[in-house]
Structure 1
């Protein structure tokens, strides 16, 4: 999915507070959603103009993303998003499965069946965003949901690793899946996972996460893929 450089919504223009962080999050969203074409060289100046800010916060944001492996800095030219192969995506989701499946069981044991209304709200909001085809909100709520659950374990390194793995993947053709209703199923899987967490079912929560990641592997590649 490619979006013209000039087609920038007014909401994408940044406020005057924490410009570096805002620029980083805007670029992160564009990259993960495939709105910056992999392999395309973008200049810092052009991105700064699109966002309505000076060059400095954008340059700093690009360096942050480069340190996370999301972009490659091209000296005197700008930056580009690396092209991901199917093998790259397989590696990313294999590692995510190794980390997040047992972690989800640990989350359930830590909570001991306690209600998690904030995560149910996030699950419902991202499901509604999927239903409406609001990809930016879907991505934001999905990120909050997954990383927020991992944060409950108090393991900062785990959260950082999963966050970086998520960012290194890209959602190709996500709009098409949203239009076909395939993305709504992914949202509903989050609600089912919350049900298992609140029921104190550690093994079931782990298997639901495994199935969800298998489904997400297809979504990230732009195709419907069975979670079973």
Structure 2
């Protein structure tokens, strides 16, 4: 199960999904560092499951670019290249900002309600000091917003951009510089912009949100970054 697919309420996960989620959390938060080897036998012993279960989890992580798998060789945690991360952030900026018109056209009460629920969940995670839980809801917020533009083929691209830029931010900033509650509250302006039902207002809000990511966005974008 991906970050995007995890609902607000907890649900029963399959064994491979449980393993995948645990490993994904450790990779994104940096507990498993870039380049670390992931051996199926060791992981099977750790999680008390079959190697086939581990293989399923690693295959899904590989599809998201979080691990690198090669035949007859160990799987390794993917590197977190600043070049890759910067380009993914630019791609994310283009995808989300250009989708503003479609999001406004597809906006309804259900979308606004879902976004508000995601924001509330982010606030709870922040107050509990649950950074990964906050990231899950952050990712879900942006994907739910983008879904209103009805571009399902592009959604997996945005998902990868979100996951890898979140991971890069964590690996390259200090905990003291990451105010979890402030991260949650930054999404309120996006909801307010969407409520205006104005495409330019929403695009500007999304652009500001993306280009001002702590210690990351300002290094990638110029202060006068234009909205595509």
8 Å contact kept, 1:150–1:158: no
Corresponding position of 1:191: 188
8 Å contact kept, 1:189–1:212: yes
Corresponding position of 1:138: 134
Gaps (5+ residues) in structure 2?
Answer: 1-10
1:210 aligns with 2:207: yes
What is the alpha-carbon distance in structure 2 between the residues aligned to residue 161 and residue 167 of structure 1?
10
Give the drift of 1:147.
1.0
The two structures, once aligned, show a CA RMSD in angstroms of 3.1
Determine which of 96, 101, 104 is the counterpart of 2:100: 104
Per-residue CA distance 1:172-228 (angstroms, 9 max, x = gap): 54797554563322211111111111221321221111111123363699xxxx9x9
8 Å contact kept, 1:147–1:163: yes
What is the alpha-carbon distance in structure 1 between the residues aligned to residue 12 and residue 40 of structure 2?
18
8 Å contact kept, 1:47–1:58: yes
Per-residue CA distance 1:5-26 (angstroms, 9 max, x = gap): xxxxxxxxxx985222332233
Gaps (5+ residues) in structure 1?
Answer: 1-14
Per-residue CA distance 1:57-91 (angstroms, 9 max, x = gap): 21112122223322111444421122222211111
1:38 aligns with 2:34: yes
Corresponding position of 2:8: none
Per-residue CA distance 1:44-68 (angstroms, 9 max, x = gap): 2222333332221211121222233
Corresponding position of 1:3: none
Partner of 2:96: helix, strand, or coil? helix
1:146–1:31 distance in 2 versus 1, CA, 3 Å: same
1:182 aligns with 2:179: yes
8 Å contact kept, 1:102–1:206: yes
Corresponding position of 2:145: 149
Q: How many residue pairs are counted as aligned between the two chains?
A: 210
1:213–1:109 distance in 2 versus 1, CA, 3 Å: same
8 Å contact kept, 2:143–2:159: yes
8 Å contact kept, 1:113–1:199: no
Determine which of 124, 127, 132 is the counterpart of 1:128: 124
What is the alpha-carbon distance in structure 2 between the residues aligned to residue 52 and residue 16 of structure 1?
18
8 Å contact kept, 1:33–1:171: no
1:63 aligns with 2:73: no
